């Protein structure tokens, strides 16, 4: 913890170094996690191990008395002990990375700047339109299709022009790059049609995306079209409507050119929202755009919420059931999720039941030419904030855990 003390001391020194009129404000946020687990070790014996997890973020902002502020954000500190599900899996003393930079050499106690920028609220002239202007390290999120990037530069947001709102950015060239990306997005509503357009220009390359959504009778209809720098196209069309009492139907189609991949696309968001999807290589990088239909239904039958869907581009289907029961005046929430990866011949069944303060989870996974796995676990949320858990996994064996997490 000595390194942490040094880091915080350095931050305070920076705060005191700012002019008094700037009124520096230091904000620190993060998470402290304490766990102990009974788990199988490398010697195939059960051991009780303890883990301390820590994430820390800090930002320094100064209000200059005018509608402008300076912000310094430091790279998050973590100690290489969290998995992708944000669970502590190693002790805080474990070597590793946790700051921006080279994960092989970075020191968890090293103070590193992440972003430095000035932000101004208001018009550029008396009586002019209001807007937010940021200069320095900017984050641009105009469109997940073509305009999601972080770059040093300048951006203007929330500029109202009649029925639309305009946002623009201009980026300085990154290292080893000769071109400067710049772009414009417009969002608005005209004649009950929601419209959005984003254009990004870099050198001689242009990428753009446009979306529209409106109500057509009982149906909500939406669509998107995007074009990358090589003139490859991708599109997504969706319609959702109640086709009969207590039954909603969703139909969609997405596709385009296989080589479609804009330079500043947010692939994760597009896939999470089922707007686009790609086949992946061994490293997990997008290779080819997938296309096909998607269909889903939703209904409530005898108190059970039912949702079923099939996605042709990924060749997968999902069934979800949820129902609440009453037991002696207390509610029990239950949920079943079945995921079927048809092309991979893989099925995953998940069941969750909660009767506060106890939650029980079960999961079974089966795949052709692979050994089936199963797991069962239960957690108890104690009144003092501690969480106790016990479980069994067909491969890893039994496990017992206890701990607490505090976020600040």
The Cα–Cα gap between 47 and 229 comes to: 55
Global pTM value: 0.77
The Cα–Cα gap between 373 and 363 comes to: 8
The Cα–Cα gap between 391 and 38 comes to: 10
Q: What is the pLDDT of residues 315-367, one digit of tens each?
A: 999 999 999 988 787 889 999 999 999 988 999 999 999 988 999 999 999 99
Closest CA to 231 of 204, 206, 255, 212: 206
Query: What integer is the mean pLDDT of 187-207?
Result: 94
DSSP single-letter state for residue 285: -
Tokens read off for 154:
């300048």
Q: By three-state DSSP, how is residue 179 classified?
A: coil
Residues near 65 by Cβ (< 8 Å), separated by ≥ 6?
21, 23
Burial of 167 (0-12, 13-18, 19+ CB in 10 A): buried
DSSP H or E stretch at residue 207: strand 205-216
Q: What is the pLDDT of residues 8-45, one digit of tens each?
A: 333 334 444 444 444 566 677 777 777 777 777 777 77
pLDDT of residue 11: 39
Tokens read off for 15:
């705060």
Classify residue 4: in a domain, yes or no: no
Q: Which domain holds residue 326?
A: 315-408
Closest CA to 150 of 166, 172, 165: 172
Number of domains in the chain: 1
Mean pLDDT over the full length of the chain:
83
Classify residue 395: in a domain, yes or no: yes
Classify residue 348: in a domain, yes or no: yes
Classify residue 388: in a domain, yes or no: yes
Classify residue 35: in a domain, yes or no: no
DSSP H or E stretch at residue 5: helix 2-17
Indicate the range of 108-117, 146-155, 266-275, 359-368 predicted with least confidence: 108-117
pLDDT of residue 62: 63
pLDDT of residue 249: 96
Check: CB of residue 219 under 8 Å from CB of residue 239: yes
Tokens read off for 408:
């600040």
pLDDT of residue 18: 43
Confidence of residue 99 (pLDDT cuts 50, 70, 90): very low
Count CA atoms within 13 Å of residue 275 on its CB side.
22
Check: CB of residue 169 under 8 Å from CB of residue 161: no
Cα-to-chain-centroid distance, residue 205: 28
Classify residue 179: in a domain, yes or no: no
pLDDT of residue 121: 87
Check: CB of residue 150 under 8 Å from CB of residue 140: yes
Residue 63 has pLDDT above 80, yes or no: no
Classify residue 393: in a domain, yes or no: yes
Q: By three-state DSSP, how is residue 21 classified?
A: helix
Q: What is the pLDDT of residues 368-397, one digit of tens each?
A: 888 999 999 999 988 888 888 889 999 888
pLDDT of residue 84: 57
Classify residue 340: in a domain, yes or no: yes
DSSP H or E stretch at residue 132: strand 132-143
pLDDT of residue 314: 92
Q: What is the pLDDT of residues 242-274, one digit of tens each?
A: 988 899 999 999 999 999 999 999 999 999 999
Q: What is the pLDDT of residues 118-133, one digit of tens each?
A: 888 888 888 888 899 9
Indicate the range of 40-44, 226-230, 310-314 predicted with least confidence: 40-44
């Amino acid at each position: 913890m000595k390194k942490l003390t040094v880091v915080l001391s350095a931050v305070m020194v920076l705060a005191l170094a700012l002019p008094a009129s700037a009124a520096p404000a230091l904000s620190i946020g993060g998470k402290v996690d304490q766990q102990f687990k009974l788990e199988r070790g490398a010697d195939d014996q059960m051991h009780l191990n303890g883990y301390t997890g820590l994430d820390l973020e800090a930002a320094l902002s100064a209000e200059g008395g005018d509608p402008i502020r300076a912000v310094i954000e430091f790279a998050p500190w973590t100690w290489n002990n969290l998995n992708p599900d944000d669970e502590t899996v190693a002790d805080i003393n474990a070597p590793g990375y946790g700051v921006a930079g080279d994960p092989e050499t970075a020191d968890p106690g090293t103070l590193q700047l992440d972003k430095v920028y000035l932000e101004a609220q208001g018009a550029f002239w008396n009586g002019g339109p209001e807007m937010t202007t940021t200069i320095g390290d900017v984050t641009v999120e105009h469109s997940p299709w073509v305009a999601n990037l972080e770059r040093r530069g300048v951006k203007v947001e929330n500029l109202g022009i009649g029925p639309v709102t305009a946002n623009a950015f201009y980026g300085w060239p990154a290292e080893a790059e000769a071109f400067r990306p710049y772009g414009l997005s417009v969002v608005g509503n005209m004649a009950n049609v929601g419209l959005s357009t984003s254009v990004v220009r870099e050198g001689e390359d242009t990428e753009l995306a446009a979306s529209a959504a409106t109500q057509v009778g009982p149906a909500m209809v939406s669509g998107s079209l995007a074009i990358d720098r090589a003139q490859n196209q991708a599109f997504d069309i969706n319609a959702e409507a109640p086709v009969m009492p207590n039954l909603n139907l969703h139909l969609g189609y997405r596709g385009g050119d296989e080589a479609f991949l804009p330079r500043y696309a947010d692939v994760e968001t597009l896939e999470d929202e089922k707007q686009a999807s790609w086949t992946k290589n061994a490293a997990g990088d997008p290779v080819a755009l997938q296309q096909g239909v998607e269909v889903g239904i939703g209904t409530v039958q005898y108190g059970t919420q039912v949702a079923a869907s099939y996605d042709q581009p990924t060749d997968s289907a999902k069934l979800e059931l949820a129902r609440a029961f009453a037991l002696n005046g207390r509610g029990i929430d239950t949920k079943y999720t079945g995921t079927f990866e048809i092309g991979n011949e893989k099925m995953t069944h998940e069941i969750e039941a909660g009767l506060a303060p106890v939650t029980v989870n079960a999961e079974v996974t089966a795949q052709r030419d692979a050994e089936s796995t199963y797991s069962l676990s239960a957690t108890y949320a104690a009144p003092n904030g501690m969480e106790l858990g016990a479980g069994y996994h067909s491969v890893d064996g039994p496990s017992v855990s206890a701990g607490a997490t505090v976020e600040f």
